[in-house]
Structure 1
Amino acid sequence: MTHRAAGTARAAELAEALKREAGALGFDPVGIAAVPAGERWQLRSAALERWLAAGHQAGMAWMADPRRQRIETLLPGVRSLLAVGLNYYVAAERLPGTPAVARYGWGRDYHRVIEGRLRRLGRWLEATVPGVRWRACVDSAPLMDKAWAEEAGLGWIGKHGNLIDRRRGSWLLLGHLLTSLDLPADAPATPLCGSCSRCLPACPTGAIREPFVVDSRLCIAFHTIENRDPDLPAPIAAALGGWVAGCDICQEVCPWNQQPLESSKDPDVQPRPWWLGLPAEEALSWSDALWDERLRASALRRIRPWMWRRNIRAVLGRAAPRPTP
């Protein structure tokens, strides 16, 4: 065996070992992408530029961070990326008439969960290959996470803008481990939405302006989580349909999410006991202190207590209380 062939064989063995370790940490699917990326990623990068130019990011100025399209600024010398998915689908439903919360917010803060597990994976990699450099990234990092996951073969980006896996549907939380190692890449995923466009008309505010283009200015998830105005826009408030934190409508109608799905047993994604039967009036009455206690270690802490009450009032059709003169 030549030196080059021996090096290639070792890299392949290391890649498989890295994937096994990721699987042992609860990640599935997993895949590897080479840096720099291929043509598909370049098309996604160009689409991001068009999306930003159209103002679809609304108030999310961080989406224009130039590092998002320059992965080497996150880890100088990066040569490969391990993309991982964490299944957060749990076969449970909220009681009718209770406030709706996006499924990703049912359990513990996925940023902490995924980053913690990726750091363990990075330390394993460093112990296996002394001197290797790595960085763990979740979606709070300026990285085109869905595009890189697609490049690594985890799934394809659907017309609703979410990554879809053939077995898991789109109920996947994503993470990435950047590394200075040259590892053999997996084939990018093949898009399988075909002619289906159920997600477009399902959106009650028309936020999916065209396939693969979500206008945050019209998105219920954006307004319930990111909008810091005292009141929600009237058309958004009228269309909430019970959603007080995020929105899953475009995912719920997707055929890939209507197949029999494995319900995750991962303790970190299980719903808090009171989530699925929380009466709106009770949630509206929470003090700031009780809100802080109930949403401890939750991804929904991005919503401030006053926003939580604003959203619930909008769902109940009540105007915000005004200070007395």
Structure 2
Amino acid sequence: MTRTAPRRAVAGQAAGTAPRRGRRLVALALLAALLLALALGAASIGAAGVAPADALAAVGARLGIGSSPLDAVGDAIVVDLRLPRIVAACAVGAGLAIVGAVMQALVRNPLADPYLLGVSSGASVGAVLVLVAGLAAVLPVAAFAGALLALLATLGLAGAAGGATPTRTVLAGVVVASAAGALVSLAIFWRADGDAFREILAWLLGSLAASTWQTAAIALVGAALALPLLVSGRLLDALALGDSAAGALGVDARRTRWALLVACALVTGVLVSVSGAIGFVGLVVPHAVRLVVGASHALLLPASGLAGAIVLLVADTVARAAFDPRELPVGIVTALLGAPVFAALMLTGRVRT
């Protein structure tokens, strides 16, 4: 009896793991299918209505598959205007949601989001400076440079304050974000007017209206940089048990936390350089997904990525099409959707604290 008990336990664990893995794959497959369906719908929606089948055929024709049923104008609308924006929205939404889930686990704070370390505020400084100077063409580069400088300032301040612990790092991020916000306000007050002011306002509120294949490629780079975070599920689960328990499991808590914090900041810097600071996606989506798939990060991270892509794609489609011919910055839509959802999660006690 004694010898066979461990074998039965191992067999039971294996039998239980297979169904869980199967359910995980089914859940991710359903989210992926929904994302593809919504992307096709988004390519069809707009002032120039296009049938979903025609939009799909136009994309296929650009890839060398078949021919496009649309004329040159319709083909350009779908492939050169709408599709880059769809790709950017999916990449940014996925990256922000993954980073948000990782940040909430690292700092053990339900209010953590991708902008916690002052990265988006630094990006705003870079973006505003080039916009008031009339150099909008280099906006993504300037925004990323500003985000990187903000990250270095946060880490440097935290280290100088007595050691870069997670708490000191968060506090340093608050200081850097406040200083960067003041610089942005000063630049707007001193120099911005007319078209520059409208461009700055749209960027600060978060917008994908200027998406091109070049900016979509940058967003895809940001999403690709977030892919290594997807395999950090076991590390995050270990950190959730406490640093001592994580150490007993062979995880260097301090080194792991720092590596993941820096990775999150770099991903966020790349993404906001394209989209501006789009709020609530990285905050709300991980909490909502956690209710459905549980707290295990092995499933939470990829599910949050797919859900984040879905949320931002839907929000951006609403932003550009619901009030045609006027267009809202997508950050307004995500705030209008995210604030009541987060409030409902709080009131029902579903936000993990």
**Normalised-by-shorter TM-score class:** under 0.3
TM-score, normalising length from structure 1? 0.25
* Larger strand percent: 1
TM-score, normalising length from structure 2? 0.24
Q: Which has the larger radius of gyration?
A: 2
